Amino acid sequence: MWRSLASNALTLFIVVFILMAGLITWGKRQYVAPGPLTQTICFKVGKGAKMSAVSAALGQQGAVSDPRIFRIGAEYSGLSGKLKFGSYLLPPGASMAEVATALTTSGQSTCGQDVNLRIGVAGSEIVLRAFDPATNAYAEVAKFDPAAGAAPPEFTAVENEPDLRWRVTLAEGVTSWQVVESLKAVDFLTGTIKTVPPEGTLAPQSYEVEKGGDRAALLAEMTAKQSAILAEAWASRSEGLPYKTPEEALVMASIVEKETGVAEERPRVASVFLNRMAQGMKLQTDPTVIYGVTKGQGLLGRGLRQSELRRETPWNTYVIQGLPVTPICNPGRAAIEAALKPENTDYLYFVATGTGGHAFAATLAEHNKNVAKWRAQQAAGAPDTTGTGSGPDTGAVDGTVTLPTTPPAGN
C-alpha cells in the first residue's frame, strides 16, 4: 500500500511540476508577446506609485493583457521597485516586457504636458504643450508673456499637476541681462539673482528644471555648460588664430552670432572679421555699436545714428581697433566653433542678399556691386530676412543708408 501511495504522490508531483513549468513557460511567452494596445497611449506613473497599482491601471487602460503576469514578470526581471515618476508613451503592440522597461529605465517622461520658458532676443514667452498620442506629436495649448499679465486659464488649470515638466530654453544671441530679467519674471522658479553673469558666459540651449528650482543654480548650470563648450572648441581650434585667450574667441563668436542666423555662414562670417584683423582694418560691425548703446539691456528699436557710430565705447568697432572688450551676447556652440574653426577665405566684406543669407566679397568693387543689388531689393520692398535681430551692417544713419569712408565688413 505504501508503495502505491508513494507512486501516486510521485505521479501527482510530476504532473503538478509539468503544469507549473508549462504555466511559467506560458507566462514568459505572454510577458514578451505583442500586447493588446491598438493605438498609442500616454500612461502616467504617480510619485511613489507601487507596481500593484500600476499593473491594475495598465490593465484598465488596455496596455497589458494580464496585470498579474505583468506584475510577476516585472518582479522576476528585477524592475518592480524601479518605477519612475512621469508620463510615458506606450506604442501599439508594446509587450509587457517593453512596458515594464519604459516605466522603469527611461529616466524621464516621454509624453504628457510640458512648460517651456523661451528666452529670445526679442522677448520671452511661456509655452504650454500637450502630447497628442493620435498624432505622435506635441501641440501648443497656450502661450503668453510672463511679464505682461495674468496667465491664461489653460495654464493655471494644470500648473500644479505633479507630472507637468518644466524647461527653460535660451535662444542663441540673447544677452545675460535678458536671461536674468526673464528668469526673474516667472514664479515657477525661486531664489534671488545677485548679479548678472558676464556677457557670453551662458550657453544657449534647453534646460530641464524643477518647479520651485533655484534661479542662481540654473544660471550656474548655464555657465558650466558654456565653459565646457568653449573649452572643447578651444582645444581643437585651428592654427594661426589671433586670439590670446578663449575669452577673446568668445567675443568673436558673439559678433558672428549677431551677424548671421544662417548656420552654414558662420565660419565664413568669422573669416571676414579675422581677415580684417589680419590686415589691420577695423571690424566696423553694427551689432557692437548697438551693444555700446544698450549694454545688452533690451533692443535698440531703431536705426543707428551718425553720432552713435562716431561715439567711442569699449564695444564700438567703428572706432576701436580689434575686438570689443567683452562679448555682445551669449553665442551658441555653432558660433563658437566658427570663431575657432573659420573658413579659409580672402573675404573682407559681406552684405545681405535679401533671401536670408549674405553675399561675400574680397574687393571693395565687388562689394559695392553687392551693396547696390541689396539696395535695389530694399527699394523694391524686400524684407530683412537675415534673422539676426539687428540686421546686416548698413551704415544706417538716421534711417538712411550710407557708405562710410572706410567700408565696414557688413555693409
Residues 358 and 369 in one domain: yes
Separation of alpha carbons 226 and 358, rounded Å: 28
Residues 196 and 223 in one domain: yes
Nearest to 202 by CA among 233, 245, 172: 172
Give me the sign of the Cα torsion angle 186, 387, 383, 298: positive
Per-residue pLDDT at 335: 97
Q: Residue 1 domain-assigned?
A: no
Per-residue pLDDT at 396: 30
Boundary residue ending a domain (181, 211, 230) = 230
Residues 164 and 306 in one domain: no
Boundary residue ending a domain (230, 262, 296) = 230
**Contacting residues for 45 by C-beta, under 8 A, at least 6 apart:** 54, 83, 84, 85, 86, 87, 88, 103
Q: Residue 7 domain-assigned?
A: no
pTM (predicted TM-score) = 0.77
Q: Residue 121 domain-assigned?
A: yes
How many structural domains comprise the chain? 3
Write the secondary structure of 116-167 as one string of H (helix), E (strand) and C (coil): EEEEECCEEEEEEEEEECCCCEEEEEEEECCCCCCCCHHHHCCCCCCCCEEE
Separation of alpha carbons 349 and 259, rounded Å: 12
Separation of alpha carbons 318 and 309, rounded Å: 6
Domain enclosing residue 195, as ranges: 113-230
Residues 221 and 187 in one domain: yes
**Which grid coordinates belong to 193?**
539673482
Q: Residue 6 domain-assigned?
A: no
Q: What string of pLDDT tens digits covers the 411 residues of the chain?
A: 555 545 555 555 555 555 555 555 655 677 778 878 888 888 888 777 888 888 898 888 888 888 888 888 888 777 777 777 778 888 888 888 888 888 787 656 677 889 999 999 999 999 999 988 777 788 899 999 998 878 899 999 988 888 788 999 999 999 999 999 999 999 999 999 999 999 999 999 999 999 999 999 999 999 999 999 999 999 999 999 999 999 999 999 999 999 988 889 999 999 999 999 999 999 999 999 999 999 999 888 888 899 999 999 999 999 999 999 999 999 999 999 999 999 999 999 998 887 778 999 999 999 998 888 888 877 776 555 443 322 334 333 222 223 333 456 765
Per-residue pLDDT at 58: 86
Boundary residue ending a domain (230, 261, 276) = 230
What secondary structure letter does DSSP report for 264? Answer: G
Per-residue pLDDT at 123: 92
Residues 223 and 259 in one domain: no
Residue with cell string 562716431:
310
Q: Residue 23 domain-assigned?
A: no
Residues 56 and 131 in one domain: no
Alpha-carbon distance values, 168 to 136, 351, 398 (Å): 23, 34, 37
